[in-house]
A and B are shown apart, each in its own frame.
Chain A
Amino acid sequence: MLDLAFMAEIAPKMAAALWMTARISLLAVVLSILVGALLTAARMLGGRWARYAVVVFVEFTRGAPPLVHISIVYFLLPQFGLLLSEFWTGVVALSMVGAGYTVEIFRGAIESIPEGQSDASRALGLSPLQGFFLVLLPQATRRSLPPLTNELANVVKASSLLSVISVNELTKVANDLIFVHFVVIEVLIQLTALYLLIIGVLMAVSRWLEARLA
């Protein structure tokens, strides 16, 4: 049977790791939305080169595995003299991947907005930049909420990969516990339950937001 006393014993460590996963994911989510919005603006308003650069960035982030992006940030930033802690390395890598997906989500949502909206904002004397950030993006935000939630759940799941650069998040701590105590099932059950909890909360918040914005 399950060793409940052991599960209670490791709970504080798992809770600390959960907090780490939550913090990294939250930072990465906010950054990837901000960077994603800026890149979408560059993609839709910028010149030809800006457009190409964003397309290449998107294909690169979506075509290669997140584990490769994490290695790239981990190995390459120090080469340029940027020494970040494991925590921030993880945040940067996850934000980079997240931004690539977010660009496509925003672009899809903005292209689904009737053209009259952008014509009207121009007619009212708004600049293209103002029209983008004040008229199109707010409307697109509502439409992109469901796919965005999916993407945010992906960021949480991708944060598990940061265990390979020894960030003490949920998966890393659980794995260490397994190797220290040689107890497998109890740890895996707790680990799974905690991830399902985070993702469940995320989905609930998104549904609430969607209902409020609708």
Chain B
Amino acid sequence: MDVAFLIEALPRLLPGLWLTVQLSLLGLGLAALIGLPLGVLRSETSSRPTTWLIDGYVFVVRGTPILVQVYAAYFLLPMIGLTLSPFWTGIVALVFNSAGYQIEIARAALQSLETGQREGARALGLTDDLVLRKVLLPQAWPRMLPALANEASNLVKASSVLSVIAVFELHKAANAVISQSYKFLEMLAAQAVLYVAFVVVLTQLAVWLERRAGLKTSVGLANR
């Protein structure tokens, strides 16, 4: 292990790490704006076509690799007249992917609540809207947190795939250094450590958020 080289090359990885942070956090936030409301809709709606549409979307997202979704965004967006930079193409792909998983997270959390909660609120004379806003969602939210934390670290790892469409995130930046210097070991170790460190930071953040939300369970490191 060439430590001197590692110290010299580390600054060249930092812009990549910063891009990875931006991609995963922006992707997570935008996907939450789309996915969580759709998940609530999926859980509450009685309309058949809506259910089919959302289920179909979730099935495609979960049944195909993220790489295929990235290629699809890369090839299809220009065909409908949307020529985006690699960064924003990547964001579109990540949001498409993560929204599908977040639909399931919101739906599962709502459906895990005891039915008595819904019936009790209804019996107290609350409207459907109030039942959802004042009774169900406040209880479902803490249950979504661990799964959302997992989803956040999945997104960090998924963002590495954007290297194939020339987004200069961490993996791509490390590969660029490797192809100039042939220092495999140093660069592989450095990027692995940076990825794991970022994921651990996110996990700890989630543990803290959960404790604040009054939940004592802890989360591990993600599912892909």
Contacts and interface: CB of A to CB of B under 8 A. Distances in A.
A42 interface: no
A104 B75 contact: no
A126 interface: no
A196 B64 contact: yes
6 contacts: A171-B65, A171-B67, A171-B71, A175-B71, A192-B60, A195-B63
B75 A158 contact: no
B13 interface: no
Nearest to B182: A75
Nearest to A203: B63
Contacts of A153: 62-63
A71 B175 contact: yes
B163 A67 contact: yes
Given A64-B199, A171-B71, A199-B62, 11 more contacts: A62-B220, A63-B153, A67-B163, A151-B223, A153-B62, A153-B63, A154-B224, A159-B65, A188-B71, A192-B68, A192-B72
Contacts of A154: 223-224
A163 interface: yes
Nearest to A150: B223
Contact of B68 (A62, A164, A191): A191
Count class of interface residues, chain A: 35 or more
A60 B189 CA distance: 11
A60 B192 contact: yes
A161 interface: yes
Contacts of A75: 178, 184, 188
A83 interface: no
Q: Which of A60, A65, A66, A72 has the most CB of B within 10 A?
A: A65
A160 interface: yes
Contacts of A76: 184-185, 188
B160 A67 contact: yes
B164 interface: yes
Given A62-B222, A67-B163, A195-B63, A171 B157 contact: no
B156 to A, nearest CB: 8
A65 B157 contact: yes
B71 A161 contact: no
Contact of A196 (B60, B163, B223, B224): B60
Contacts of B185: 76, 79
A204 interface: no
Given A63-B196, A67-B171, A75-B178, A158 B224 contact: yes
Interface residues of B, number: 40
A161 B67 contact: yes
The 3 closest A-B pairs by CB, nearest first: A63-B196, A160-B65, A65-B160
A157 B195 CA distance: 20
Given A63-B196, A65-B158, A67-B161, A192 B224 contact: no
Contacts of B157: 64-66
A175 B79 CA distance: 16
A195 B61 CA distance: 11
Interface string A74-98: 0110010000000000000000000
Interface string B152-195: 01001111110110000001000100100000110010011001
A184 interface: yes
A150 B68 CA distance: 18
A68 interface: yes
Q: Which of A174, A195, A200 has the most CB of B within 10 A?
A: A195
A101 interface: yes
A79 B67 CA distance: 28
A62 B221 contact: yes
A159 B175 CA distance: 20
B76 interface: yes
A157 B161 contact: no
B200 interface: yes
A68 B224 contact: no
Interface in B190-211: 191-192, 195-196, 199-200
Q: Which of A151, A174, A175 has the most CB of B within 10 A?
A: A175
A158 B161 CA distance: 10
